[in-house]
Structure 1
């Protein structure tokens, strides 16, 4: 009895996505958010260790985000030019050294400098890992692979405060010891990609297209709006609805795991539906679901609603990363890093716009943030206007399942 082709395809796909060859990509996706958000739950320990104010400690997060976002405008192109393998390895080594700097810093100034260096290293990691993943996964299954990668990112972001908080029971520096060790291990397994010297080097010019500009707008508006709305949920629960910090943290942790759980499903839907239908559908759904969140004035209703909505919101970043990975095949890293740069700028700007409105006008804050999804929707429509709504050739419903 012969094995049906569909069964063989499913087996090969599962095997390819779950081998030791691809695991470092996904672990790298987990490490980035852990390093980024590790300081959130150790503000008191940092204040006490370095004798600084909460405002100063805030820079341990902003000082990481800002250089990372700025450098991401070009980090992917640099990585493609000098070789993904070489640049990713160097980025992980820098990340490990910077983590050691966080452990050994005798004062807050040096700790902040180490955090800046961590941000510089992370600017190269995610775009080059996804670009490398796109080279080893066949196109018909790339959506699923990016979905799994996004799931690891989601659980990393959700687990980061828990990991550093647990380390703080003994010494908060232990969190950075672990982060540094993982980075060193990943430096031994960088993605493939050799340097492209002279004329074959990927230039910036191919990124200056209508499609890429649309993806930049989509990333910025989504991050400042619906996919960044978790920050508003956290502040609203804590300050507007008088929920304790520990309970708020638990709710946000559970919502992160819900996003992680569905990320592979979103990737499979991209493979099954095609890029245009998946992108437009995701932006439409999250806009409708996030706009009315400010109408909920009970924490016990908002908590389960947000856990469910957060899982659906995760469909948008999966689409963003997938579209960036296929937009410029000759410079995947550059396309991915530039889109991520605009996304991180959006995450930085969104709270500055909407959080001040929460105290007196939560409906306006959530409504305005959610309504930015309409901009994302329009940008997705432009970015995918030449794509059909059907899956690419070679994808079957069975293979996508």
Structure 2
């Protein structure tokens, strides 16, 4: 029993990685039912996705630093309780305005969990196994992103509000379990020790730019693929949904292996492999007219995106500088900001030239990533690619 009690916090740490993407995407498949119930169109109900992700990305710029000041375990527990409360508010929302407010607060609460979970994971993991641990965390994030539409669709068959009840129950359970004890949970807690400027160092910002491109130019173009699947291949909604899940499925199946690759060849090399191969795959997805080839390319793009995302997490969490919680928070803010910005930037391009909408992000990914990703530390610096023991 004592062994089980000791293992539960570690399991909850990984489960928290599932909850964030799951909560953000669970509404996607139930937008028509939400809109009908609240008296708005499905397109208007879709603003609930933007409300969540926009606040999530914005608050993460500083949430990791504040969490480090307040203490990781205390902050994460409070954030889960807040997430459970506002999820219940979303379940009971009588109007779209109330629902949007609840979704914004959900995003804010989740911003205080994801970066601190990653920082705690890094503090618990030896440097030679950090990539594997981050790979498993990435696999669970991919699983949350992949299965959210399925669970949301099942809930909508009964009542879409039950999806938020499930979120509230999961967050409450995670709050009860808490985080494992880590050295950094105590070390970073004294007020004033963690500073935002430490998290906004040039090296961290450069890694953040890579994260923005890695997610925005690969996973963030899923809406473009949906457009193309309808315009070129004449797929119906269920067929388009099945096609889009291939990216997340690839993440589930391969993220841990990508983590092993990070441990073997280093974060920077893994990121470059993911970025360059991802750029070629995005071009394939946007130009080839054979559906089977596009489906395979989209699956492989899921592996490429994991190379970038697991790699940037390993690079920032292994950085020898101060305020790792704040640093990973900044990088995650860039990542999800890229996903939120991609539809705004690329939809007009698609309308003007569908092929260019794929070529532009592919070119940015291939050209900017090698320039932005920081070089490994000097030989006298701790660890490969900045990865050091905790």
Change in Cα spacing, 1:66 to 1:348, as seen in structure 2 (3 Å) is same
Following the alignment from structure 2 to structure 1, what is the Cα–Cα distance between the partners of residues 43 and 243? 25
Provide the C-alpha distance between the structure 2 equivalents of 1:358 and 1:198, rounded to a whole number of angstroms: 48
Using the TM superposition, give the Cα deviation of residue 328 of structure 1 relative to its aligned residue in structure 2, in angstroms: 5.1
Paired residue for 1:75? 63
State how 1:1-400 maps to structure 2 within 5 Å: 19-191=7-179, 192=181, 193-194=185-186, 196-198=189-191, 201-327=193-319, 330-359=322-351, 361-373=353-365, 374-380=367-373, 382-384=374-376, 386=378, 392=384
Q: Which runs of 4+ in 1 moved over 6 A?
A: none
> 1:77–1:334: 8 Å Cα contact kept in structure 2?
yes
- What's the TM-score, normalizing by structure 2? 0.90
Pick closer, same or farther for the CA change 1:51–1:44 going to 2, 3 Å. Answer: same
How far apart are the structure 1 equivalents of 2:34 and 2:88?
16
CA distance in 2, matches of 1:217, 1:29: 22
1:387 to partner: Cα distance: 7.3
Structure 1 range deviating more: 308-317 or 159-168: 308-317
Cα deviation per residue 1:307-362 (whole Å; 9 max; x = unaligned)? Answer: 23322322111112221212255311101110111111111111222223335522
The answer to whether the 8 A contact 2:77-2:175 is kept is: yes
Question: Cα–Cα, structure 1 residues 105 and 214, in superposed 2: closer, same or farther, change >3 Å?
Answer: same
Aligned residue for 2:289, secondary structure, equals coil
C-alpha separation between the residues in 2 aligned to 1:383 and 1:180?
Answer: 42
Q: Aligned equivalents of 2:57 and 2:384: distance in 1?
A: 32
Equivalent pair of 2:246/2:295 in contact (CA under 8 Å): no
The alignment covers a number of residue pairs equal to 375
CA separation in 2, counterparts of 1:384 and 1:213?
Answer: 15
Shift of 1:77: 0.3
Q: The residue matched to 2:177 in structure 1 has which SS?
A: coil
Give 5+ residue unaligned stretches, structure 1: 1-14, 396-401
Contact 2:251 2:302 in 1 (8 A): yes
Of 265-274 and 287-296, deviating more is 287-296
Range with greater deviation from structure 2 (110-119 or 317-326): 317-326
Q: TM-score, normalised by structure 1?
A: 0.87
Evaluate the alpha carbon distance shift between residue 128 and residue 383 of structure 1 in structure 2; reply closer, same or farther with a 3 A threshold. Answer: farther
Q: Which sections of structure 2, spanning at least 5 residues, go unmatched?
A: none
CA contact (8 A) 1:292 1:367 kept: no
Go from structure 1 to structure 2 and tell me whether the alpha carbon gap of 1:48 and 1:297 turns closer, same or farther (over 3 Å shift).
same
Measure, in 2, the Cα distance between the counterparts of 1:57 and 1:386: 51
Q: How far apart, CA to CA, are the structure 2 residues paired with 1:308 and 1:341?
A: 25
